[in-house]
Amino acid sequence: MSRQELIGPQGLRQDGRRANELRKIKCKPSVLSQADGSSYIEQGNTKCLAAVYGPREARQKGQVIHNKASINVELSLAPFSMSERKKRTKYDKRLLEIASAVKQTFEPVIMTSLFARSQIDIYLQILQFDGGIIQICINAATLALIDAGIPMLEYVCACSAGIIENTILLDLNNTEESFDTPELTVALLPKSEKVTLLQLDSRLQVNEFENVMRTAAKGCKEIYEVLEDATRDHIKDLLNRSNPIN
């Protein structure tokens, strides 16, 4: 398949979306019984489950920071998640790199100074993979952290955007990513418009950067709406269950 076939004649992509359309997002917080906070997110065909434990006592003395909480992120990919079965250990370099990126994204946002000497663990499990791994990890982690009740400055929403044949595409899937397509992943705090993560794969022209960035930022804000709705619905649910008289 050549790059030109990624966008059809009517401007529709492989999966029927327009260039600036996000994939369908389904999300739900509080799905696991053991974790302090958890969430499940589906963005198109990519599915991710996140669990948050904490703040709790740090397990390794070396990780203790005297005036704030340390954040630990672990990412695993299920062997059946990609079209070719591949067993990846937790210490696979690519996964470690993404986990580290997620950790750096959340460090300025979580109010770690409230929990000195403790540890917050974020565990991410990818069940099915169809592109957009960093963005779905960040979105899932945001929901799970909110469900765990860990204070944060704001929601963190992430989205990817790329450019093919002069058309800016939002939210790339696996096929679109694999063509050496320049892909910009942005994690944004939607209200204050601060960027906490910026990653670019492949090459992008400097004068196109501004447009791609703006598209990705708009995508982030759309994702924010979805995440916020999911959280509000969940809380309404909880309130209704504890006050049956209402």
Partner 1 sequence: GRGCLDYREVIIETGVISQANGSARCRLGEGTDVLVGVKVEIGSIEIDGADEEVAAIKAKRGRVVCNVECSPIASQQFAGRGADDFNNELTQTVDRVLNGPHGGLDLEKLCILPGEECWVVYIDALVLDYAGNILDTIFMTIRAALFNTRVPKTTVSEDKEVEISGDDEEWERIEGWEQVPVSITLNKIGSRHVVDATPLEELTTEAKLHVMVSKSGKVCGIQKSGGGSIEHSLLNEMIQTGRSLGQNLIINLDKILHKEEELMVRNSRVGKLGFFAAT
Give CA–CA dist 171/218, Å, rounded: 11
Binding mask 93-122 for partner 1 (x = CB under 8 A): ----------------------------x-
Sign of the C-alpha dihedral computed for residues 171, 173, 179 and 183 taken in this order: positive
CB atoms near residue 178 (< 10 Å): 11
Q: For partner 1, give the closer residue by CB, 193 or 225.
A: 225
Helix (H, G, I), strand (E, B) or coil at 41: strand
Contacting range for partner 1; rule: CB under 8 A; set: 13-21, 75-83, 189-197, 235-243 = 75-83
Q: In the window 23-52, what residues touch partner 1 (CB under 8 A)?
A: 26-28, 31-35, 38, 40-42, 45, 49-51
DSSP state of 62: G
CB of 63 to partner 1, least distance (A): 11
CB atoms near residue 98 (< 10 Å): 21
Site of tokens 């198109």: 44
CB of 93 to partner 1, least distance (A): 17
CB of 138 to partner 1, least distance (A): 16
CB of 196 to partner 1, least distance (A): 23
20 binds partner 1 (CB under 8 A): no
CB of 229 to partner 1, least distance (A): 9
Give CA–CA dist 246/244, Å, rounded: 5
Bridge partner residues of 40 (DSSP): 28, 49
Give CA–CA dist 94/99, Å, rounded: 9
Bridge partner residues of 145 (DSSP): none
Q: Which residues bind partner 1 (CB under 8 A)?
A: 26-28, 31-35, 38, 40-42, 45, 49-51, 53, 56, 72, 74, 76, 78-85, 87, 90, 121, 123-125, 127-129, 230
